Amino acid sequence: MIALDNVYKTYSTGVSALNGISMRIKKGEFVFVVGSSGSGKTTLFKLLLKELEPTSGTIYINNKNIGRLRRRKIPKMRRGIGVVFQDFRLLKDRTVYENIAFAQRVVGKSSKQIRSSVPALLSLVGLSDKEKAYPNELSGGEQQRVALARALANNPPVLLADEPTGNLDPKNAWEIMKLLEEINLRGTTVVVVTHNKDIVEQMQKRVITLSNGVIISDEQKGGYYED
Ligand SMILES: Nc1ncnc2c1ncn2[C@@H]1O[C@H](COP(=O)(O)OP(=O)(O)OP(=O)(O)O)[C@@H](O)[C@H]1O
């Protein structure tokens, strides 16, 4: 599903952010990626989305070598990955309904398909009563739930979340994590980059720890280690 073989990334400044990363994440797994500031987590995230190219090494997403994709195939590859960020990134001048519908419209879904799927997505994230609200009328936790619904709008096999609880209080953070767990149980592969030690410790999932651009541990039911 996701595979990295000996991936290196050196920025043009000469900084080596990733120094030989290899990993396999199977379909249906739930994985935390942790590591101190500067360990390479965001670089890894950007490589998986093909926002950056590795200096060397190979990356496979949904069994395709993304280094070999033709430019016109990149949007389709990205559609296979739902993405959630720390800062939600909702369209501020659009309602909750429109935010989710928009993600589907840009990939050419019909109005009929959208009218049936948006309520189902809102129900999944527990926001059926908020479809007419604007993002600034919602709490942080609610905004993140809308972002999750939007990320899932095109049924991606993989969901990547970069610090999804970074702007949330502990209660909302847990609600988002439980939702990610539920989404995973429905079959989506979930990869979460986080600094949230309590959540990582309690969720008892696979944990990949990065330090200075290398993997220093990869454990099933892992904990959160400081390096
Ligand atoms: N665009 C860039 N140009 C040059 N160096 C960069 C760039 N982006 C990141 N780096 C460097 O690469 C290394 C890894 O950064 P990265 O952002 O991947 O770490 P991170 O683990 O996500 O950190 P944080 O937890 O603080 O977000 C750091 O030394 C950083 O300074």
User: What would the pLDDT profile of 34-49 be if each residue is shown by its tens digit?
Assistant: 999 999 999 999 999 9
SS3 12: coil
What is the pLDDT at residue 107? 86
Q: Is residue 152 classed exposed, middle or buried when 0-12, 13-18 and 19+ CB atoms within 10 A define those classes? A: buried
What is the pLDDT at residue 92? 96
Query: What is the position in ligand 1's atom list of the atom closest to the CA of 40?
Result: 18
Residues 143 and 90: beta-carbon distance below 8 Å: yes
Shared domain for 105 and 180, answered yes or no, is no
Shared domain for 67 and 126, answered yes or no, is no
pLDDT class of 223 with cuts at 50, 70, 90: confident
pLDDT class of 91 with cuts at 50, 70, 90: very high
Asked if pLDDT for residue 226 goes beyond 80, the answer is: no
Residues 164 and 194: beta-carbon distance below 8 Å: yes
- Residues touching ligand 1 (Cβ under 6 Å) are 11, 13, 15, 17, 35, 37-43
What is the pLDDT at residue 159? 97
Asked if pLDDT for residue 199 goes beyond 90, the answer is: yes
pLDDT digits (tens, 9 = 90+) for 109-153: 999 999 999 999 999 999 999 999 999 999 999 999 999 999 999
What is the pLDDT at residue 208? 97
What is the DSSP secondary-structure string of 116-153? Answer: HHHHHHHHHTT-GGGTT--GGGS-HHHHHHHHHHHHTT
Residue 54 Cα to ligand 1 middle (Å): 14
Q: Round to whole Å and give the CA distance between 19 and 173.
A: 31
Task: For residue 85, tell me if it sits in a domain.
Answer: no
Shared domain for 218 and 107, answered yes or no, is no
> CA separation (Å) from 151 to 12, 70, 76, 201?
31, 24, 14, 26
Asked if pLDDT for residue 10 goes beyond 80, the answer is: yes
Q: Which tokens sit at 219?
A: 């454990």
What is the pLDDT at residue 227? 62
Shared domain for 39 and 29, answered yes or no, is yes
Shared domain for 45 and 120, answered yes or no, is no
> Which has the closest alpha carbon to 147: 113, 102, 109, 107?
102
CATH classification of the domain holding 26: 3.40.50.300
For the chain, give the percent of residues with pLDDT over 90.
Answer: 88
Residue 45 Cα to ligand 1 middle (Å): 11
ipTM surpassing 0.95: yes
The phi, psi pair for 84, rounded to 5°, reads: -130, 135
Which residue would you say has higher pLDDT here, 195 or 189? 189
Residue 41 Cα to ligand 1 middle (Å): 8
